[in-house]
Structure 1
Amino acid sequence: MATTMHSEGAIPTANGSASGRSRWKYMDTILSREGGHTDDDYDPGKTPIDNIEKSKVLVIGAGGLGCEILKNLALSGFKNIDVIDMDTIDVSNLNRQFLFREKDVGRAKASVAAEFVMQRVPSCKINAFVGKIQDKDEDYYMQFSIVICGLDSIEARRWINATLVGMVEMENPDSLKPLIDGGTEGFKGQSRVIFPTMTSCIECQLDMHAPRAAVPLCTLATIPRQPQHCIEWAHIIKWEEERKDIVLDTDDPEHITWLYQTALARAKEFNISGVTYSMTQGVVKNIIPAIASTNAIVAASCCNEAFKIVTSSAPFLGNPGQNNYMLYTGDSSIYTYTFEHQQKEDCPVCGNLPKDLSVNAESTLGELIESFAERPESQLKKPNVRTEEKTLYYSTPESIRQQTEPNLKRKLSEMLIDGEEMAVSDPAFAIDFRYKIRFA
């Protein structure tokens, strides 16, 4: 039987042939030898390469970060990828989301991105899904080795984080799915690695995402001065007046279009210019304009962590007790910093203890509910409040809202006792925030 001769440093594929590996020669060089930081039991060569080829990766988001992440994964040897995104391509995307062309405007981002990458890297198979991450169940997420997020929405991050934490079964190690999250804001960005239940999760880190400053309702309702005021008026006031029975979905184009048209009419009434669909989307979703170079740097960091986790070729962020968070700032120079964000015992997702909540006993339930939107650890827009014994207030459905609305004017001391545990939920999240009331 003839034998196949391999050149020095070539790594055979599963069928014993080194042909077709030339594209990956630099990656093979890294994986075919031990490094200064590899573990003692690291097995260089075929094992880490097979791990890359066999690992199934989910990429959430096919926008500025998502395009970079998909490209990096494909060029790093990952062959089995799913991508989820519900948005369509807009002309404004073309300056930084490099997988898209003018002819693609109006098409689904996930589909176009998958087609482009597979055309350039035929050995990579990418399944595109157009829709929301909430449309998929736990069985779907259980099939992946790693989940990488390139999202522009805090709410979506919190949802996938809670889902992955809830999937973990102590007797089944395969149920733990590492979550790699990237985010950018102008010249700043971050990447972080989360091992659900083992390390700090996104909910633990929520206080690092300070809620945006609120515009006084009196300004919105009487004399708006900026186009953003008109959008917030449509978002906060007009939606509640005309569509209060519908939960606002900031990822639904029909909902954003309604807000845009309503805000535009308001702006014309006060001779304010500048209201656009893109601005409406940005204000409602709190989107900060993206910069291509920041996306590239943060996406590279995310994919580098995925590469290290799958191959064990180098220490990765997220090992329990070690650094799990990378911050990048590029305002005046290129600067990165890594640190360990510690897990919180009172985290509503991965913790076991309720969080102490200091309140004024003489304040009203309505004042408490309004404060949840500005609390860094919750940032809830439509909080529902209950104790073990009674329901204090529910924003939906309409029948319960009408029954509990009178409680908004009652003092907390009339409905709660010091040390009582209270659960707060929101239609946008599948978790309860547990608080232990402490009267100040």
Structure 2
Amino acid sequence: MSQPVMISGTMAISEPKKDRWTYLNNVRLHKGPFVAEDFEGTEEAVQQVESAFKVLVIGAGGLGCEILKNLALSGFKCIDVIDMDTIDVSNLNRQFLFRASDVGSSKAEVAAKFVEKRVKGVTITPHNCKIQDKDDDFYMQFNLVVCGLDSVEARRWINSTLVNLVDDNNPDSLKPLIDGGTEGFSGHTRTILPTLTSCIECQLDMHAPRQAVPLCTLATIPRQPEHCIEWAHIIAWEQEHPFPALDNDDPEHITWLYKKALARAEEFKITGVTYSLTQGVVKNIIPAIASTNAIIAASCCNEAFKIATNTNPYLGPEDNYMMYNGTASIYTHTMVHDKKDDCPVCGNLAMDLSVDPNITLEDFIASLAERAESQLKKPSIRADTTLYMQSPPSLEEQTRPNLIKKIGELVGNGDEIGVTDPSLGTVNFKYRLNFSKEFKAVEGTES
């Protein structure tokens, strides 16, 4: 019942105290003009979303903190968050769930505790590990996956994993993926229905290529802290090989690069080399802006809410990609990104690839790493038989003799090959090789 209160010497009637979910229920319980045909505006439907609809948030950084907060305040009560990173001082300016006392602690664990404390009734389960550490059964338990990642490689891995989970005989195996990303004052939100709509691999050309720095600058006269880091990454690492292979997510590897870059910066009297900058350069992380993170996270969570409640049409399959640009005022554009028939993850066709049959398999593998659509690091190749495998060591040793053989000796014109890379999970690039020259089987001859 309303109670009288004194305001500036006059008597007034205060408004009844509203429940936290009052305004949210105006949307969840009442049929609006844009609801889906199967919309159920009942208390039972709301309880079903709150108690049984499970959401996985990947990333607890700038976007992830905003996403967790928004989901908890949008009625989602069963949330998991996965992030392998620990909190750094540089995170505190925009990752608002963390405090100075949290530095060095797990991002996922601290973020989960903070939101649970502020939003009663929400259960958030943290996972302090890589997404690659979880198996298919782990991902099958969720109804929806929301990504707030800063890595294209990680996006490709989760994308291929969710596509491969789909079983035509099990409708519950289709897990919608909502992906958000920011770059300065720009950002995007996209909704992916695995196997049904354009996937992340289909849209790989939307990511800008990494800006190259001339090797002569790195090796002789660096001028910026980034040059020192790239020198440690490209030159020092290759010269010293401190570890068998560089893992961008391994703190020990990043620390080695940071120390090398710092020593070189001091030699040339360059300031600004930090651990976080080293990590950003090596992983090609674009500095984030808090306001952009907030906008894109809100968009991602709106899509999650619409998918869970059917209260409004969500992005996809018609319009599945929203671009945001806040550089000059505020501009958004929603478009359709078409599914590619020759997508290595969700497509059915092989990509045509013109190749000189007289180059060696080793040179062919090197050329694949330079192709924009693949971005491979340690590719393995199969045709009718295994041509070359990077691992396990026994198989690598067994197939190593093929590296010096010509492509024309190993496959025929028009044959298909499959190319995989351990960093990209189950992605299998399928190429149909078209010989651009006549194959010369005799060593030393030219076409």
* TM-score calculated relative to the size of structure 2: 0.87
2:33 to 18, 32, 36: 36
Relative distance call for 1:269 and 1:422 in structure 2 (3 A) is farther
The answer to whether the 8 A contact 2:56-2:144 is kept is yes
Aligned match for 1:336, one of 332, 337, 346: 332
Task: Give the distance between the partners of 2:344 and 2:205, measured in 1 at CA.
Answer: 13
Q: Is the 8 A contact 2:38 2:310 kept in 1?
A: no
State yes or no: 1:134 paired with 2:132: yes
1:240-267: CA deviation from partner (whole Å, max 9, x where unpaired) = 4433763322122111111111222333
The CA distance in 2 between the partners of 1:360 and 1:198, in whole Å, is 36
Give, in whole Å, the separation in 2 of the partners of 1:133 and 1:289: 23
Distance 1:419 1:178, change over 3 A: same
Q: Which residue of structure 2 lines up, in the alignment, with residue 377 of structure 1?
A: 373
| 2: CA distance, partners of 1:216 / 1:412 | 31
Give the superposition deviation at 1:213.
2.8
Match of 2:23 in 1: 26
Query: What's the CA shift for 1:385?
Result: 2.9
Q: What residue is the counterpart of 2:441 in the other structure? A: none
**Structure 2 residue identity aligned to 1:24:** W
Counterpart position of 2:418: 423
> CA shift at 1:219, angstroms?
4.3
Show the counterpart of 1:114.
Answer: 112
* 1:93 alignment partner in structure 2: 91
Distance (Å, rounded) in 2 between the aligned partners of 1:412 and 1:227: 42
SS in 2 for 1:68: helix
Deviating more after overlay: 359-368 vs 244-253: 359-368
1:398 Cα deviation after fit:
5.8
Identity of aligned residues (%): 64
| Residue range with higher mean Cα deviation, 306-315 or 210-219 | 210-219
In the TM superposition, 1:219-230 aligns within 5 A as 219-230=217-228
Retained in 1: the 8 A contact 2:229–2:258? Answer: yes
Report which of the two structures shows the higher radius of gyration computed on alpha carbons.
2
Query: Using the alignment, how far apart are the partners of 1:435 and 1:244 within structure 2?
Result: 35
AA at the equivalent of 1:335 = Y
**C-alpha RMSD over aligned residues:** 2.5
Match of 1:354 in 2: 350
Q: Is the 8 A contact 1:51 1:310 kept in 2?
A: no
Superposition pairs for residues 125-274 of structure 1, below 5 Å?
A: 125-243=123-241, 246-274=244-272
Aligned counterparts of 1:101 and 1:353: Cα–Cα separation in 2: 50
The 1-side partners of 2:398 and 2:198 are apart by 39
Contact 1:192 1:324 in 2 (8 A): yes
Distance 2:420 2:84 in 1: 25
The question of whether the paired residues in 2 share the 8 Å contact of 1:28 and 1:45 is answered with: no
In structure 2, relative to structure 1, the CA distance for the partners of 1:378 and 1:66 (3 Å cut) is: same
Q: Which residue of 2 aligns with 1:51?
A: 48
- The verdict on how the C-alpha distance between 1:416 and 1:241 changes in structure 2, with shifts beyond 3 A counting, is farther
SS at match of 2:339: coil
Letter in 1 for 2:195: T
Paired with 1:289 and 1:36, the residues of 2 have a C-alpha distance of 40
Partner residue, 2:288: 290
Could you tell me which amino acid in structure 1 is paired with residue 85 of structure 2?
Answer: D
> Residues 219, 398 of structure 1: CA spacing in aligned structure 2 closer, same or farther, 3 A cutoff?
farther
Report the Cα distance in structure 1 between the residues aligned to 2:18 and 2:133, rounded to whole angstroms: 38
Partner of 1:4: none
Once the two structures are TM-superposed, the CA of residue 278 in structure 1 deviates from its matched residue by 1.2
- State how far apart, in whole Å, the 2-side matches of 1:125 and 1:271 are: 50
- Give the TM-score, by structure 1 length: 0.88
Q: Aligned letter for 1:421?
A: E
Q: Which residue of 1 aligns with 2:4?
A: none
How far has the Cα of 1:47 moved from its partner?
A: 4.2
CA positional deviation for 1:41: 3.9
Query: For the structure 1 residues 144 and 281, does the alpha-carbon distance in structure 2 shift closer, same or farther, using more than 3 Å as the test?
Result: same
Q: What aligned pairs does 1:67-86 form with structure 2 within 5 A after superposition?
A: 67-86=65-84
- More deviation, 377-386/238-247: 238-247
- Take 2:143 and 2:335, find their aligned partners in 1: how far apart are those partners? 25
Taking structure 1 as reference, are residues 309 and 20 closer, same or farther at Cα in structure 2, changes over 3 Å only?
farther
Contact in 1 for aligned 2:204/2:373 (Cα 8 Å) = yes
| Post-superposition offset of 1:406 | 7.0
Opposite residue 378 of structure 1, the aligned amino acid is S
Unaligned runs of 5+ in 2: 1-15, 437-447
| Cα shift at 1:362 | 5.0
Q: Is the 8 A contact 1:62 1:84 kept in 2?
A: yes
Distance across 2 between alignment mates of 1:175 and 1:399: 36
Q: 1:135 to 1:21 in 2, by over 3 A?
A: farther
Q: Is the 8 A contact 1:372 1:381 kept in 2?
A: no
**Structure 1 residues 43-71: Cα deviation after superposition (integer angstroms, max 9, x where no partner):** 22324412320211111111000000000
Preserved contact between residue 86 and residue 108 of structure 1 (Cα < 8 Å)? yes
Conservation of the 8 A alpha-carbon contact between 1:182 and 1:189: yes
2:175 touches 2:194 (CA, 8 Å); kept in 1?
A: yes
Helix, strand or coil at the partner of 2:145: strand
- For residues 20 and 179 of structure 1, the distance between their equivalents in structure 2, rounded to whole angstroms, comes to 37
> Amino acid of the residue matched to residue 381 of structure 1?
K
Corresponding position of 2:3: none
Q: In 2 relative to 1, CA 115–390 (structure 1 residues): closer, same or farther, beyond 3 Å?
A: closer
Distance 1:217 1:423 in 2: 32
* Matched residue SS, 2:423: coil
* Cα gap change, 1:176 to 1:188, in 2 (>3 Å): same
Structure 1: where are the runs of 5+ without partners? 1-18
Aligned length, in residue pairs: 420
Q: Structure 1 residues 367 and 187 mapped into 2: Cα distance closer, same or farther (>3 Å)?
A: farther
Aligned mate of 1:305, from 293, 303, 306: 303
State the shift of 1:270 in Å.
4.1
Letter in 1 for 2:385: E
